[in-house]
């Protein structure tokens, strides 16, 4: 069964520092990976998808098939980045499996 692991429940960084939220997946086929974000008092929403190879709000994520990872990175964290971040994976069934999330706090 496919599984998504986010090892850090909580992560705090100072404003301007680099941030990396870790995500590992288990799946034997061709994975499709996503990052979703939930800001305080807002809905869960898509942040980015690996297939687009895009940078959204300064965040990027690279799929590493060798390490089965899809870590989310931003070189300079901002206070408005504070949120709950979920990594999600879609396998052959085209249904999303979510990780347990990482609460990011960016300190002033």
CB of 79 to other proteins, least distance (A): 23
Give the chain's count of helices (H) and strands (E): 0, 11
Rounded to 10 degrees, the C-alpha dihedral 21/17/75/4 comes to 0
Q: How many residues belong to the site for other proteins (CB under 8 A)?
A: 21
Taking CA 90 as the corner, what is the angle to CA 41 and CA 44, rounded to the nearest 5 degrees?
5
The closest of 24, 45, 37, 100 to 74, measured between CA atoms, is: 37
CB of 43 to other proteins, least distance (A): 5
Binds other proteins (CB under 8 A): choice among 21, 24, 32, 104: 32
Site for other proteins in 37-96 (CB under 8 A): 43-46, 49, 86, 88, 90, 94-96
Does 11 engage in binding with other proteins (CB under 8 A)?
no
Point out which residues bind other proteins (CB under 8 A): 1, 4, 9, 32, 34, 43-46, 49, 86, 88, 90, 94-101
């Amino acid at each position: 069964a496919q599984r998504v692991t986010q090892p850090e429940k909580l992560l705090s960084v100072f404003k301007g520092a680099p941030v990396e939220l870790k995500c590992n997946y288990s799946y034997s086929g061709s994975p499709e990976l996503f990052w979703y974000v939930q800001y305080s008092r807002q809905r869960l929403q898509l942040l980015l998808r690996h297939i687009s190879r895009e940078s959204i709000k300064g965040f990027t994520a690279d799929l590493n098939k060798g390490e089965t990872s899809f870590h989310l990175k931003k070189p300079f964290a901002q206070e408005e980045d504070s949120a709950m971040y979920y990594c999600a994976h879609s396998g052959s069934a085209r249904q999303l499996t979510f990780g347990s999330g990482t609460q990011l706090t960016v300190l002033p």
